[in-house]
Amino acid sequence: MARPRIQEPAAVLVAARDVFWERGYELTSIGELEERTGASRSSLYHTFGSKRQLFDHAVRSYVDTVTTPMLRGMREPDAGLDAVAAFFGARAAAFRNDPERALRGCLLINMMATSDASDDLVVREASAHRERLYEAFATALGTAVDRGETDADVVPARARMLISATIGAFLTARTDPSMAAVMCESIAAEVRSWRRGEVTVPDGDLVPVESTG
């Protein structure tokens, strides 16, 4: 007897990814995966392997379809401080405009916060995600340095700070999307204040710094 095959594996994978994104690996049951994907247990196993292998595929899908597009703007040749600020501005808008989706947080950051730290997949993906964030932030900040917008010696520290800010915003979004949006707007204002000759005033607007020399 032929084993059952899934006719549209890409659509099934996206549906499974969303279950893991909402529930986490440990809390997601095979029954939930069957219900949400419309595929039988035997079909899921035949197409993707075990539940763990399906989760691994789901993580790859998330990186390709969610994370990579989200960071793309900071990798553009003309990216600079505005691109970093725009990244956080876009997160603020997303949290505010779609709070239900915002409550999912980030699949990869959720893994860091809730999974077993000795799990090889978690360690590998957490490290890879931090590296992706660092590379994107450092690239945009490096472009800002090349354009004379900011100083070179602060790039590594600021890139690391932005990683922490991103993780904090996504974790906050899981319980309070509105507060996460406010956080991202504040981060965006702070990033814009890094431009030489400008400072941030309390309402988030930028004003020029008058030279005293």
CA within 13 Å, CB half, 83: 21
Burial class of 121 by CB neighbour count within 10 A (0 to 12, 13 to 18, 19+):
middle
Query: What pLDDT band is residue 6 in, cutting at 50, 70 and 90?
Result: low
State residue 196's pLDDT score. 75
Fold of 62-206: Tetracycline Repressor; domain 2 (1.10.357)
State residue 105's pLDDT score. 95
State residue 69's pLDDT score. 96
**Whether pLDDT at 151 is above 60:** yes
State residue 162's pLDDT score. 97
Query: What pLDDT band is residue 7 in, cutting at 50, 70 and 90?
Result: low
| Domain segments of the chain as ranges | 62-206
Query: What pLDDT band is residue 4 in, cutting at 50, 70 and 90?
Result: low
**Whether pLDDT at 208 is above 80:** no
pLDDT tens for residues 90-114?
A: 999 999 999 999 999 999 999 888 7
pTM (2 decimals)? 0.84
Mean pLDDT of 168-195: 96
Query: What DSSP assignment string belongs to 143-175?
Result: HHHHTTSS-GGGHHHHHHHHHHHHHHHHHHHTT
